[in-house]
Amino acid sequence: MRAVALRDRSIAARACGAALAATLALVAAGCGGGTEDAAAPPAPIDSPVDAAAAGRVIGRVTLEGTPPAAEVINRRADPYCEELGEARTETYMVSRSGALQNVFIFVKDGLGDLHFPIPTEPVVLDQRGCTYVPRVFGIQAGQALDIFNSDDTLHNVHAAPELNREFNRGQGLQGMRHTHVFTTPEVMVPFQCDVHDWMHAWVGVLDHPFHATTAADGTFAIDGLPPGTYTIEAWHEELGPLTRTVTIEPTAEIETSFTFTM
Amino acid sequence: MLHRYAILVATATAVLIFAGGLVTSTGSGLSVPDWPNTYGWFMFSFPLDKMVGGIRFEHTHRLIASTVGFLILVQAVWLRLAEPRAWVRRLGYVALAAVVAQGVLGGITVLWFLPTPVSVAHASLAQIVFCLTVSIALVTSRGWADAYGTSAPASNDAIMRRLAGGLVALVYTQIVVGAVMRHTGAGLAIPDFPLAFGALLPPQWDAGIAVHFAHRVGALLVSLTALALGGHVLAHHRARRELRRPAVLLLVLVAAQVTLGAYTVLSGKHYIINSLHVVTGATVLVTSVVIALRVFRGTFPEAAGLDAAGAGRTDAAYAPEAGARA
């Protein structure tokens, strides 16, 4: 009987050991997150663009087809947000004429090895009315992003990039600010608030300043482009990317439009 | 009294697992970015009026976890002071170490943005903590002390030993696969049930579909093994109340669990259904552990007067309070 008892306990001990070893292996495999990107500020440089010869790209983005109707967001999880009044989903911001808002337009290719100065003015992302303002925007790698909480409730600012460093900061009080600098170009980096699961924003991180976001009438303008041939991309959070190729002559204004279909 | 306290601890652990299920099911795991503090507040002084949105689930989970940790600490001390069997005292220490490790894993997974391996480890270790607390509750019971009033230990039945031991391993593996599916977002990788994309086998495969399908195959294996064990108990050990009752409970729980799993898919992962699926799976596991421990009861030291109790204590001192039969 003693031999049986010892054998069974030995089997049980081995089983427990295997379970704990498997757990530790899982933890070990998970190590490696949380690395910090180097954040050393680059040396200032002058713009390589001759302002007298620079051109401009303008255009309009439209949507063909009928998008899903904007739905009322259930914000009962936070009384503060609920008391602000009804809010609707902003995935498809489409006018009656089909103009599509919140499309990120940027130069994807064609700038070669040009390097551009990093703006000293920070870009602002605000949490206001239990939503991100703006929802879609661009920034230059190395440029400061100031994230504010203008709401009298808690938000967490959770950016989940693939190339840059992920971060998740709590802003428990109204008026709090967090400054972040993305170091690597990446289109797009998603933001979300895990407290309020309807809050989403996207930022396009570029190594140049040539980007825009469509307005309510679907229009956009990218100024100051040096003469050349460029691939312009339009990105929408649900509809994905569309690209166009344009050639800019000195001081010229080129019009190009994008039409998403669904 | 110790036995009743151990039941309280085990029950609290089940509640904790349900609360943890709610955190994942609602996607609230990162709604509190810091740990062990909450938005800079000491955990227990975080204002109630600030528990909004996802914070309600994550912070409540942390509070329950802290409470369970404290209950297990008290249990370990209590066992140290009052339990004559050395291996049961050690079980208390192991439970304490496991719940501390579990808390640390919970913190790490938040600070590292929910890496899948750590989150899966957190979910898997939770099941071990639950098994330990239920085991402590079982072995401190009067029924365990009396060896369930039988002189014919079920451990003589080789088929039942294999079925009981095998079921524990199978259910635990199934839960780990479920945790992988859950933490890789593959819960709806196969969107229909009982078929997979309208067929018996998925017509296309990727990692998400594979882990989801493995979980379904695991459910089938667990169900068949539970049926075999339950059927064997009812056919050959019907008179053994301590086996018959958990065997029937096991069959009911497995049926409920399969139903919940199906409804989780069909409801598009409704967070309540999803969380009930998590905690019912844990209950299936501990029920199979209880059956296995009772099947192997005759091999435990005190049954043969073999316990090498430390601190001068002997088996003679091992006499659980009356009325604590379980």
- CB contacts of B152 in chain A (<8 Å) are none
Average pLDDT over residues B12-40: 97
Residue with the two structure tokens 């091999």 = B299
Amino acid (one-letter) located at B320: P
Average pLDDT over residues B46-68: 96
Tokens of B154: 């079920």
pLDDT attached to residue A36: 37
Q: Which residues contact B6 (CB under 8 A, 6 or more apart)?
A: B75, B133, B136, B137, B140
Domain match, B114 and B229 both: no
Domain match, B194 and B100 both: no
Q: Is A86 left (phi over 0), alpha (psi -120 to 50) or beta?
A: beta
Query: With bands split at pLDDT 50, 70 and 90, how would you rate the model's confidence at B298?
Result: confident
Query: Is residue B29 a part of any domain in this protein?
Result: yes
Q: Do B113 and A160 touch (CB under 8 A)?
A: yes
What pTM did the predictor assign? 0.84
| Percentage above 70 pLDDT, chain B | 90
Whether the per-residue pLDDT at B214 is higher than 50: the answer is yes
Tokens of B144: 């365990």
Distance separating alpha carbons of residues A6 and B5, to the nearest angstrom: 29
Q: Rounded to a whole number, what is the distance in Å from the CA of B200 to chain A's nearest CA?
A: 32
- CB contacts of B34 in chain A (<8 Å) are 170
DSSP structural state of residue A164: S
Neighbours of A3 (CB within 10 A): 8
Q: Do A33 and B113 touch (CB under 8 A)?
A: yes
Tens of pLDDT, residues A43-80: 667 778 888 899 999 999 999 999 999 999 999 999 99
Instruction: Tell me what the pLDDT averaged over chain A comes to.
Output: 87
Domain match, B126 and B97 both: yes
Query: Is residue B325 a part of any domain in this protein?
Result: no
Position with higher pLDDT, B307 vs A182: A182
Query: Is residue B314 a part of any domain in this protein?
Result: no
Domain match, B227 and B212 both: yes
Domain match, B46 and B176 both: no
Query: Is residue B303 a part of any domain in this protein?
Result: no
Q: Do B40 and A170 touch (CB under 8 A)?
A: yes
Closest C-alpha among B96, B141, B167, B166 to residue B302: B141
Q: Is A112 left (phi over 0), alpha (psi -120 to 50) or beta?
A: left
Distance separating alpha carbons of residues B109 and B274, to the nearest angstrom: 21
Distance separating alpha carbons of residues B62 and B214, to the nearest angstrom: 31
pLDDT attached to residue B246: 97
pLDDT attached to residue A154: 96
Domain match, B227 and B286 both: yes
User: Of how many residues is chain A composed?
Assistant: 262
pLDDT attached to residue B83: 95
Query: Is residue B130 a part of any domain in this protein?
Result: yes
pLDDT attached to residue B154: 55
Whether the per-residue pLDDT at A38 is higher than 70: the answer is no
Whether the per-residue pLDDT at A249 is higher than 90: the answer is yes
Whether the per-residue pLDDT at A26 is higher than 50: the answer is no
| Percentage above 90 pLDDT, chain B | 87
Domain match, B108 and B206 both: no
- Please give the residue of chain B at the shortest CA–CA distance from A9: B300
Whether the per-residue pLDDT at A17 is higher than 60: the answer is no
Whether the per-residue pLDDT at A256 is higher than 90: the answer is yes
Average pLDDT over residues B112-138: 97
Q: Do B54 and A197 touch (CB under 8 A)?
A: yes
| B229 touches B168 (CB < 8 A) | no
- Please give the residue of chain A at the shortest CA–CA distance from B120: A26
Structural domains of chain A in order of their starting residue, each with its CATH number: 49-109+212-262 (2.60.40.1120), 117-207 (2.60.40.420)
Tokens of B65: 């976890």
Domain match, B289 and B264 both: yes
Q: Rounded to a whole number, what is the distance in Å from the CA of A163 to chain B's nearest CA?
A: 15
Whether the per-residue pLDDT at B104 is higher than 80: the answer is yes
Distance separating alpha carbons of residues B180 and A56, to the nearest angstrom: 50
pLDDT attached to residue B302: 66
Q: Which domain holds residue B239?
A: 148-295
| B134 touches B115 (CB < 8 A) | no
Identify the weakest region by mean pLDDT among A30-39, A160-169, A247-256, B268-277.
A30-39
Domain match, B115 and B156 both: no
Rg, chain B, Cα only: 21
- CB contacts of A20 in chain B (<8 Å) are 128
pLDDT attached to residue A39: 53
pLDDT attached to residue A21: 47
Closest C-alpha among B19, B97, B11, B114 to residue B65: B19
Query: Is residue B78 a part of any domain in this protein?
Result: yes
Instruction: Tell me what the pLDDT averaged over chain B comes to.
Output: 91
Whether the per-residue pLDDT at A35 is higher than 90: the answer is no
Query: Is residue B322 a part of any domain in this protein?
Result: no
Smallest Cβ–Cβ distance between A154 and the set B52, B112, B115 belongs to: B52
HSE-CB of B277 using CA atoms within 13 angstroms = 25
Q: Which residues contact A205 (CB under 8 A, 6 or more apart)?
A: A138, A139, A140, A141, A161, A164, A182, A184, A185, A186, A187, A189
Tens of pLDDT, residues A200-213: 999 999 999 999 99
Q: Do B301 and A5 touch (CB under 8 A)?
A: yes
Domain match, B104 and B182 both: no
Domain termination site, one of B87, B116, B145: B145
Whether the per-residue pLDDT at B305 is higher than 90: the answer is no
Q: How many domains does chain B have?
A: 2
Q: Do B118 and A27 touch (CB under 8 A)?
A: yes
pLDDT attached to residue B300: 79
Whether the per-residue pLDDT at A31 is higher than 70: the answer is no
SS3 A4: helix
Query: Is residue B302 a part of any domain in this protein?
Result: no
Average pLDDT over residues A224-250: 96
Domain match, B172 and B289 both: yes
pLDDT attached to residue A1: 41
Tens of pLDDT, residues A107-155: 999 999 899 999 999 999 999 999 999 999 999 999 999 999 999 999 9
Smallest Cβ–Cβ distance between B31 and the set A30, A156, A166 belongs to: A156
Domain match, B11 and B134 both: yes
pLDDT attached to residue A2: 44
A207 backbone dihedrals φ, ψ, rounded to 5°: -100, 20
Distance separating alpha carbons of residues B61 and B13, to the nearest angstrom: 11
| A138 touches A204 (CB < 8 A) | yes
Whether the per-residue pLDDT at B20 is higher than 70: the answer is yes
